[in-house]
């Protein structure tokens, strides 16, 4: 079976946080449509993941907004340029193809891109679930290993193991176990010990579901897994603090014990870095190779401040830098207040 050709694009953005979303807009003003990759299941990055309902007070022109509201506003602003988003995608490779003058980018799910310009906007790293330290589990991330509870029908009839000790894990496991429709075949909550960081109410609900026989709680740590047909997850090895290990039949593992940022493959791409941050030219935010740019918390330079508004500034200069690199010449500065070209791109209608 022949693999499909890579998706060709002028601009590929790795990351979908606020800086990346504004970069979509700035690239659009330059006539460049962007493809956007992110390891998370939705846009917004750290702002949405950590501050979804927390007020942010230092966004220009917005005296107060939450991470969720900021994400929605940025998506609306970028909408005229129809960006293509690819979520649950962890970039696994980045290489320059000299013969085609393109960046070749691949993901752990098999997506491939051929991009004239690549923009790294990964923030402090890819926000990944705190997986058990078991070889091979990460390859199942997004299919059978999940960082959030999917819509109801997705787990119907499946054997589900939930990992975690907070409210999200306990309430998630309890809700799954007590479903009337689309109920899993079994639900097991696993944690290394019989003590939780969850609220007393969440613990009480979980124990009540266990008493009804709808939910099982098991102490121990996941130390292995076994594959069934087509290398799919079939069982998880649970090793308790004392006593022999047991195997939990499992079609799905919900890892609900928080997310942590990791540099991941970025650290292996051979890019110039200092203190785990990419080095850039602050005139264009290029990072040492043709058509390669970086913005946001992934970069470091003298005077750098890790603020969302700084990422907006960096996005604008990176978009101008890339547009001129791709055009092979200096481009005139146009203003959205008066440029007919920009108005056409934005879909601005003029009376008469």
Mean pLDDT over 4-16 rounds to 92
Q: Give the CATH superfamily of 7-127+260-346.
A: FAD/NAD(P)-binding domain (3.50.50.60)
Query: Higher model confidence: residue 267 or residue 349?
Result: 349
Report yes or no: 252 and 261 within 8 Å, Cβ to Cβ: no
**Res 229 pLDDT > 80:** no
Q: Strands 252-255, 159-163: parallel, antiparallel or unpaired by DSSP?
A: parallel
| CB atoms near residue 339 (< 10 Å) | 16
Look at residue 262 in the predicted model and tell me its pLDDT. 56
**Res 68 pLDDT > 70:** yes
CATH architecture group of domain 131-257: 3-Layer(bba) Sandwich (3.50)
Query: Higher model confidence: residue 301 or residue 139?
Result: 301
Look at residue 298 in the predicted model and tell me its pLDDT. 87
| Whole-number percent of the chain with pLDDT over 70 | 91
**Res 338 pLDDT > 60:** yes
Mean pLDDT over 78-90 rounds to 93
Residues 6+ apart with CB under 8 A from 213: none
Query: Higher model confidence: residue 260 or residue 321?
Result: 321
Distance CA 194, CA 43 (A): 35
Give the best-scoring range by mean pLDDT among 38-52, 205-219, 235-249: 205-219
**pLDDT tens digits along 178-212:** 998 889 999 999 999 999 999 999 999 999 999 99
Mean pLDDT over 145-149 rounds to 80
**Res 294 pLDDT > 70:** yes
Q: Do domains 7-127+260-346 and 131-257 have the same CATH topology?
A: yes
Largest CA distance in the chain: 81
Distance CA 123, CA 206 (A): 36
Distance CA 213, CA 343 (A): 62
Any idea how long the chain is? 352
Look at residue 51 in the predicted model and tell me its pLDDT. 82
Look at residue 24 in the predicted model and tell me its pLDDT. 98
Distance CA 183, CA 189 (A): 15
Distance CA 336, CA 334 (A): 7
Look at residue 8 in the predicted model and tell me its pLDDT. 94
Look at residue 264 in the predicted model and tell me its pLDDT. 54
Look at residue 138 in the predicted model and tell me its pLDDT. 78
Q: What mean pLDDT value characterizes the chain? A: 89
**pLDDT tens digits along 306-317:** 999 999 999 999
Domain ranges of the chain: 7-127+260-346, 131-257
Query: Higher model confidence: residue 75 or residue 100?
Result: 75
pLDDT category of residue 148 using cuts at 50, 70 and 90: confident
Judged by phi (left if over 0) then psi (alpha if -120 to 50, else beta), residue 129 lies in: beta
Look at residue 277 in the predicted model and tell me its pLDDT. 80
Distance CA 150, CA 252 (A): 11
Look at residue 46 in the predicted model and tell me its pLDDT. 82
Distance CA 21, CA 25 (A): 7
Distance CA 299, CA 301 (A): 7
Look at residue 50 in the predicted model and tell me its pLDDT. 78
**pLDDT tens digits along 242-283:** 889 999 999 999 988 866 555 555 555 666 667 678 899 999
pLDDT category of residue 127 using cuts at 50, 70 and 90: low
């Amino acid at each position: 079976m022949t693999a499909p050709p890579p998706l060709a694009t002028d601009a590929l953005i790795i990351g979908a946080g606020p800086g990346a979303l504004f970069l979509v807009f700035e690239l659009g003003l330059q006539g460049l449509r962007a493809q956007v990759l992110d390891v998370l299941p939705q846009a917004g990055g750290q702002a949405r993941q950590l501050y979804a309902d927390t007020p942010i007070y230092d966004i220009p022109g917005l005296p107060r907004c939450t991470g969720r509201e900021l994400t929605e506003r940025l998506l609306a602003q970028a909408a005229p340029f129809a960006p293509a988003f690819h979520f649950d995608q962890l970039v696994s490779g980045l290489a320059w193809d000299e013969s085609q003058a393109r960046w070749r980018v691949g993901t752990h799910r098999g997506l491939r891109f051929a991009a004239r310009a690549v923009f790294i906007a990964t923030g402090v790293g890819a926000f990944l679930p705190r997986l058990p330290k078991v070889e091979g589990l990460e390859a199942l991330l997004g299919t059978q290993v999940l960082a959030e509870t999917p819509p109801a029908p997705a787990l119907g009839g499946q054997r589900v193991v939930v990992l975690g000790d907070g409210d999200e894990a306990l309430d998630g496991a309890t809700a799954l176990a007590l479903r009337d429709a689309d109920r899993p075949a079994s639900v097991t909550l696993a944690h290394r010990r019989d003590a939780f960081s969850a609220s007393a109410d969440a613990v009480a609900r979980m124990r009540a579901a266990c008493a009804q026989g709808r939910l099982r709680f098991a102490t121990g740590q996941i130390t292995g897994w076994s594959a069934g047909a087509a290398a799919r997850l079939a069982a998880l090895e649970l090793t308790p603090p004392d006593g022999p290990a047991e195997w939990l039949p499992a079609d799905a593992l919900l890892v609900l014990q928080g997310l942590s940022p990791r540099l991941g493959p970025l650290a292996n791409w051979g890019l110039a870095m200092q203190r785990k941050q990419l080095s850039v030219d602050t005139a264009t935010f290029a990072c040492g190779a043709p058509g390669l740019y970086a913005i946001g918390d992934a970069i470091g330079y003298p005077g750098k401040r890790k603020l969302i508004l700084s990422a907006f500034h960096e996005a604008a200069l990176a978009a101008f830098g890339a547009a001129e690199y791709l055009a092979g010449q200096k481009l005139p500065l146009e203003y959205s207040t008066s440029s007919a070209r920009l108005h056409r791109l934005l879909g601005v209608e003029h009376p008469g």
